[in-house]
């Protein structure tokens, strides 16, 4: 399947290039080093070269040392450019686009911060300026051999900020497994083999077999059998063994929540006292109560979460961004935004992404969680919404507002976890009232819980009421 797909897209690519330019035009490859997914990226390049695309490459001194000229030439590259050729912007007149098969942390940082102090970043920034198509594979940003980074770590947030800066320049940042596909799409290839999400400009299909799947989240949307498998399996088969965390360990997962319209200042005070006593992760309050909660929790180690576009998600991206900035100015540490649910259900994926990006841009340095309102969505829409949240740079994807048609289910949490992979947060909220509910959600893949019955939960019981 992989070979036939690549042959198809490369054939269509070459037909378009030849019809527009009367012959082959080159694609410039930029290598600056990197030690992850190098072979995967070069295999993708070679498959396109075998289909007729012509590549030239520039290797920095670090890339020559780490990757080597021979390895690059063996991938079907016709020639290696000298430094002088890359410093000359005239190179852009002869190339169709620029591909960075192995994006390194150094190149990411310099490009995001517009530092053109070497041939590689100079030509990348010139290409962006002249609106050339640029595609970069991100697998090597975090070097091999070090510890994995959590989605909410300060380093990962900074990396996501820089990746979003590249995307704002028009640079596609993709997985090495999807590099051939993205090069084809960047060259305006139109093919029925692409999924609806991919045709909207998103990468969602990897070329790994089901047996080799590492659950990175890139391919679930195009594999409905996986959706059915998770639903059929149920929460008890999501993890390798039933989960039962000690009650005392649950508090750090919980956003202690009070979002009802009639919440008084006295009740907000009690909420904050409970949060300090039990050491919950944060309190979650409406924007009007953020300043009070921030004052009451100052120095306690408990954060303040608030909600944006809540509960309908039907305000514009501009309004949501304004809400988020105001909340942060008042002391919010984490933002839970509601997506434009109607846009997602209508298939207007660009609007959904723009909605999330607007809030992401307004919340730099803060944790952003994206509420999908899963009770209003099909399983396929849950997958698509989760993917869009990841693409737009959110830190968490979240199930529900608690005010919509249905709350969190372990099956939906498992589906979201499979979609976004292991490094992004998943928050379960809506109808979580018992210790067992929390354990089920964590077992399914949740890393944060939203609940109003938090005290009862961490006391080993639960609440049978109708709270959040």
Known catalytic residues?
A: 336, 398, 427
**SS3 call for 222:** helix
54-59 and 77-80 as β-strands: parallel, antiparallel, unpaired? Answer: parallel
Q: DSSP state, 339?
A: P
What's the CA angle centered on 95, arms 90 and 98, to 5 degrees?
A: 105
**Helix (H), strand (E) at residue 338:** strand 334-338
* DSSP H stretches of helix in 187-264: 196-199, 224-233
Residues 6+ apart with CB under 8 A from 311: 338, 401, 402, 403, 404
Question: Residue 215's closest CA among 9, 403, 445?
Answer: 445
**SS3 call for 353:** helix
The torsion region of residue 407 among left (phi > 0), alpha (psi -120 to 50) and beta comes to beta
Concatenating the DSSP letter of every residue in 116-176 gives: --SHHHHHHHHHHHTT-EEEEE-TTSS-TTSPPPPTTSHHHHHHHHHHHHHHHTTEEEE-G
**SS3 call for 281:** coil
**SS3 call for 429:** strand
Residues pairing with 137 in the sheet: 174
Edge to edge, the sheet with strand 95-102 lists: 77-80, 54-59, 26-31, 95-102, 133-137, 171-174
Tokens 């949501």 locate to 320
Reported as half-sphere exposure (CB side, CA atoms, 13 A), residue 110 has a value of: 17
The Cα-based distances of 458 to 63, 278, 301, 440, 452 in angstroms read: 53, 8, 18, 14, 12
């Amino acid at each position: 399947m992989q070979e036939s797909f690549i042959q198809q897209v490369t054939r269509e690519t070459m037909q378009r290039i030849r019809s527009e330019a009367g012959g082959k035009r080159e694609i410039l490859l930029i290598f600056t080093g990197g030690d992850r997914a190098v072979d995967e990226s070069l295999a993708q390049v070679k498959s396109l070269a075998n289909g007729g695309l012509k590549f030239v490459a520039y290797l920095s001194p670090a890339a020559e040392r780490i990757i080597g000229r021979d390895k690059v030439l063996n991938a079907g590259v016709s020639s290696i450019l000298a430094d002088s050729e890359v410093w000359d912007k005239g190179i852009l007149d002869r190339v169709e686009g620029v591909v960075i098969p192995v994006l390194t942390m150094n190149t990411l940082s310099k490009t995001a911060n517009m530092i053109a102090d070497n041939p590689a970043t100079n030509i990348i920034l010139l290409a962006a300026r002249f609106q050339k198509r640029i595609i970069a594979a991100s697998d090597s940003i975090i070097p091999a051999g070090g510890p994995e980074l959590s989605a909410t770590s300060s380093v990962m947030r900074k990396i996501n900020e820089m990746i979003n800066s590249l995307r704002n320049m028009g640079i596609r940042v993709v997985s090495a497994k999807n590099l051939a596909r993205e090069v084809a799409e960047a060259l305006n290839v139109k093919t029925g083999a692409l999924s609806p999400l991919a045709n909207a400009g998103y990468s969602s299909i990897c070329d790994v077999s089901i047996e080799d799947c590492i659950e990175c989240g890139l391919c679930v949307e195009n594999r409905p059998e996986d959706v059915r498998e998770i639903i059929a399996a149920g929460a008890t088969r999501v993890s390798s063994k039933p989960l039962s965390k000690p009650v005392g360990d649950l508090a750090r997962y919980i956003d202690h929540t009070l979002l009802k319209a009639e919440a008084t200042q006295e009740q907000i005070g009690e909420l904050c006292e409970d949060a300090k006593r039990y050491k919950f992760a944060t309190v979650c309050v409406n924007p009007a109560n953020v300043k009070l909660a921030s004052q009451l929790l100052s120095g306690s180690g408990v954060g303040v979460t608030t909600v944006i576009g809540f509960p309908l998600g039907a305000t514009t991206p501009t309004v949501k961004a304004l809400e988020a900035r105001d909340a942060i100015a008042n002391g919010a540490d984490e933002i839970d935004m509601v997506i434009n649910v109607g846009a997602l259900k209508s298939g207007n994926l660009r609007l959904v992404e723009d909605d999330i990006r607007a809030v992401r841009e307004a919340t730099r340095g803060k944790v952003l969680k994206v509420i999908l309102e899963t009770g209003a969505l099909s399983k396929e829409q849950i997958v698509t919404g989760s993917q869009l949240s990841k693409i737009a740079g959110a830190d968490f994807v979240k199930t529900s507002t608690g005010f919509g048609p249905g709350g969190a289910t372990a099956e939906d949490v498992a589906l979201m976890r499979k979609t976004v992979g292991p490094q992004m947060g998943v928050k379960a909220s809506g109808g979580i009232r018992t210790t067992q509910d929390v354990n089920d959600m964590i077992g399914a893949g949740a890393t944060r819980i939203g609940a109003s019955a938090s005290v009862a939960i961490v006391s080993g019981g639960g609440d049978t009421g109708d709270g959040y």
